[in-house]
Amino acid sequence: MTDHIGPHEQYALVPPQTFVDRFAHHWTKQFDMPASEPLRKLWRIMANTYQQSIIATAQGQLTRWRVLRPPTGSGKTMGAVVYSGIQAELNASVTDGIQPVGIMIVTRLKAQVDEVVSDINAYVGRRAAIADHTDHRATPEQLNDSDIVVITHEAYTRANKTLSGVKAERWKRLTRWRGGQRLLTIVDEALANVVEHSQVKLDDLTFLIGLIPHELRLAHANEVQALKTLRDRMLAQADTNDGLKVGTSLIWAQGEAPVSANLTELRTAMRQLPYDRQIGKDDEKERLRLAIRYDKVLGAAEALLDQYALIAVSGNQHSLNSAALAVPLELPGPVVLDATAGVDLMYQLMEDRADIIPTPPGVRDYSNVTLHVARTASIGKTKMEELAAKRFPQLQANLNERLSSDCKVLFCVHKHVEHLVPTQADLGVTEVASAHWGAIDGSNDYKDFDTAVIFGLPFRDRIWGTGVFFAFQGVQPDDWHGNPTWKEHANVRELLQRRHLATSIIQAMGRVRLRKVVDEQGRCAPTEVFIVLPTGERGTEILRYIRKELPNVSVQDWPLDLDGPKVRVKRSGLPHEGLVTFMSNRSPGRTSMSLIGREFGLKPHQRKDLQKALRDEDHPTALRLKELGVTYGSEGKGRGAKSFLLKAA
């Protein structure tokens, strides 16, 4: 199909009905899933939306973000693959005077980028799509020749810096090809980190300034003075706020910082410093770890001097904070595929720059999903780490009474307690897997699991909500912090927190087999989900959002007393699986065996047995740790010997 877009141009456009027919065939034959009438209606809406975005971009209209809400398991990613494949076929057959249409697809992880590229090329039967990420850089020639380029969310969110920085030419190569400008950008899943937050703590900045050696102070005098000015303003404002008992206040608006500075050269020089020797070590990996940490502080300081700055206090720690959109709203033809768009407040904050496209009713029916809900306080990251030793045995004892031996169970927990998840042997089930917040969204690895356990929630701090709101709606006056209203919402900061938690939960639930349609009614195979929600109105509202997004889900009370009398459970042998998980989540550097013993509650003889296994380079645990860059080491002899695991950077 061709269509007149401008007065003299025609473009090769995918007919919506062609897409519906081709995708329905692919859906039923390739994946053995039924294509119901509501699904076909949804797929036609998807095709129409893609076409509208292409036409609007070609005509140079003001960019509007079109947001589609295909429920989990309705073919949003596969649909993007098939649509792109059909577009590539049309591009290959265009005649003189017909313009081909280029597409960019943005997905969360590098592995997903590679999978999408492979699927498109397999569908078309030639290399029409190319991946571009840190593990696979496409050449300029490949980008120019490829109908579809697929990149990660991280690359997309860096576009704001790229467009105004030295890498503008690279971004141009991604968004332009032999057919001119790419006219459609498909964003698969909600953009992670769409708002970039910058924070500098007073103590960190003071310490960092003290690390700058004399020769760098001389060579970069203006930059060092800018950092000192930043610190002095923080000190003065902190004293004022403490005296007035003010928690959060604006120090300067954007463009009104007391000094401006380009810290690029100073950051480059600081990354070369021997930080390890400054703390009495000779450890290249420790040097790299500290260089990354301090460079992050310098990067945040540079952002604060370029943007607005809020001072806030948490406990006795003062910090400067700012936030800005990491994604320019003017990018070409963005269409977002976000199953949780109805809950995510971000699109409402975009106001007239975003259109949320309605989803037809009846696409999915979650009546085969049973949601078991317990309610308790203190389920954020800090408290869950603090109470882990007591709460995980309570969880295991409860699940031992509820799970059958044929269950395949996915746990979603906080990163720093993931190693304490019960094993398959502990629970007596067929399989156990775990994932942590920040590394679960969009994953297809657990699509055949019948049970999910969500234990601990990814709360954000108050400054996060303030930063998100300011990034979209602009900086508000100081009295807003005590009365954060917006439109009809009495507390938009709390609303952002609740919507964020609900979105995260729905994403986690969607990793197991409730995502797969098994009949014409849009149902899935029977699925169990266990979750601990907050007490009070916060938990009640989160549950309301879940019910809204998962029509007909069955909700039951889950009698779980996490903070009741201490229980003892039998753990199966040495924590080999847990140790691999623990080290995969650790930062580079040394981890003493003493710490590992405390973390897993090992008795002296168990710790000796574990060390014996780790000394054996051919032991399965040692081999798995080696894949993570982790090796066993020891220093000294006799009673003074110290053993450790060393993780490479």
pLDDT in tens, 74-110: 999 999 999 999 999 999 998 888 999 999 999 988 9
Return d(Cα 163, Cα 326) in angstroms, integer. 11
Q: Which residues pair with 181 in a beta bridge?
A: 176
CB-neighbour burial class of residue 587 (10 A; exposed 0-12, middle 13-18, buried 19+): exposed
**Confidence class for position 160, pLDDT limits 50, 70, 90:** low
Tens digits of per-residue pLDDT, 287-331?
Answer: 888 889 999 999 999 999 999 999 998 877 899 999 998 877 777
**Residue 410 · residue 451 · CB < 8 Å:** yes
| Mean pLDDT, residues 616-637 | 91
Q: Which residue has the higher pLDDT, 262 or 165?
A: 262
The pLDDT of residue 353 is: 87
Candidates 599, 627, 623, 598; CA nearest to 613 is: 623
Residue type, 108: R
Q: Which residues pair with 48 in a beta bridge?
A: none
The pLDDT of residue 303 is: 93
Report CA 200 to chain centroid distance, whole Å.
22
Max avg pLDDT among 40-54, 93-107, 596-610: 40-54
CATH number for domain 369-557, candidates 3.40.50, 1.10.357, 3.30.1050, 3.90.1200: 3.40.50
The pLDDT of residue 366 is: 97
Report CA 379 to chain centroid distance, whole Å.
20
The pLDDT of residue 404 is: 97
| Mean pLDDT, residues 245-268 | 89
Q: What tokens appear for 592 in the block?
A: 């003493």
State the pTM of this model: 0.89
Q: Is the dihedral of CA 71, 77, 81, 84 positive or negative?
A: positive
Return d(Cα 223, Cα 229) in angstroms, integer. 10
The pLDDT of residue 8 is: 39
Candidates 37, 38, 33; CA nearest to 361 is: 38
Q: Which residues pair with 184 in a beta bridge?
A: 103
**Residue 43 · residue 79 · CB < 8 Å:** yes
Candidates 134, 127, 166, 139; CA nearest to 152 is: 134
Fold (CATH) for 2-192+329-357: Rossmann fold (3.40.50)
The pLDDT of residue 202 is: 93
**Confidence class for position 164, pLDDT limits 50, 70, 90:** low
Return d(Cα 639, Cα 244) in angstroms, integer. 55
Neighbours of 484 (CB within 10 A): 20
Query: What are the φ and ψ backbone dihedral angles of 185, each rounded to 5 degrees?
Result: -120, 115
Query: What are the φ and ψ backbone dihedral angles of 2, each rounded to 5 degrees?
Result: -120, 160
Q: What tokens appear for 154 in the block?
A: 């991280």
Share of the chain above pLDDT 70, in %: 96
Does residue 2 carry a pLDDT above 60? Answer: no
Tens digits of per-residue pLDDT, 403-453?
Answer: 999 999 999 999 999 999 999 999 999 999 999 998 887 778 899 999 999
Candidates 492, 500, 498, 495; CA nearest to 473 is: 492
Largest CA distance in the chain: 86
Mean pLDDT for all residues in the chain: 91
Q: Which residue has the higher pLDDT, 79 or 237?
A: 79
Does residue 239 carry a pLDDT above 60? Answer: yes
Q: What tokens appear for 95 in the block?
A: 């005649």
Question: Which residue blocks in 418-484 are alpha helix, DSSP H?
Answer: 424-427, 462-473
Q: Is 552 left (phi over 0), alpha (psi -120 to 50) or beta?
A: left
The pLDDT of residue 243 is: 66
Return d(Cα 74, Cα 558) in angstroms, integer. 29
Return d(Cα 48, Cα 1) in angstroms, integer. 14
Q: What tokens appear for 642 in the block?
A: 């110290």
| Mean pLDDT, residues 241-257 | 82
Q: Which residues contact 354 (CB under 8 A, 6 or more apart)?
A: 64, 65, 66, 67, 347, 348
Task: For helices 16-25 and 37-58, give the axis angle rounded to 10 degrees.
Answer: 140
Does residue 630 carry a pLDDT above 50? Answer: yes
Q: Which residues contact 283 (CB under 8 A, 6 or more apart)?
A: 276, 589, 590
**Confidence class for position 569, pLDDT limits 50, 70, 90:** confident
Query: What are the φ and ψ backbone dihedral angles of 493, each rounded to 5 degrees?
Result: -65, -45
The pLDDT of residue 7 is: 39
| Mean pLDDT, residues 532-555 | 97
E runs forming strands in 294-407:
309-314, 317-325, 334-337, 354-357, 369-375
Question: Which residue blocks in 212-283 are alpha helix, DSSP H?
Answer: 214-219, 221-244, 264-270, 275-278
**Confidence class for position 641, pLDDT limits 50, 70, 90:** confident
Share of the chain above pLDDT 90, in %: 72
**Confidence class for position 168, pLDDT limits 50, 70, 90:** low
The pLDDT of residue 287 is: 84
The pLDDT of residue 166 is: 45
Does residue 608 carry a pLDDT above 60? Answer: yes
Q: Is 81 helix (H, G, I), strand (E, B) or coil?
A: helix
CB-neighbour burial class of residue 185 (10 A; exposed 0-12, middle 13-18, buried 19+): buried
**Range name among 162-171, 224-233, 258-267, 529-538 with the lowest pLDDT average:** 162-171
* Long-range contacts (CB closer than 8 Å, 24 or more residues apart) made by 26-33: 26/78, 26/82, 26/123, 27/75, 27/78, 31/78, 33/516, 33/517, 33/518
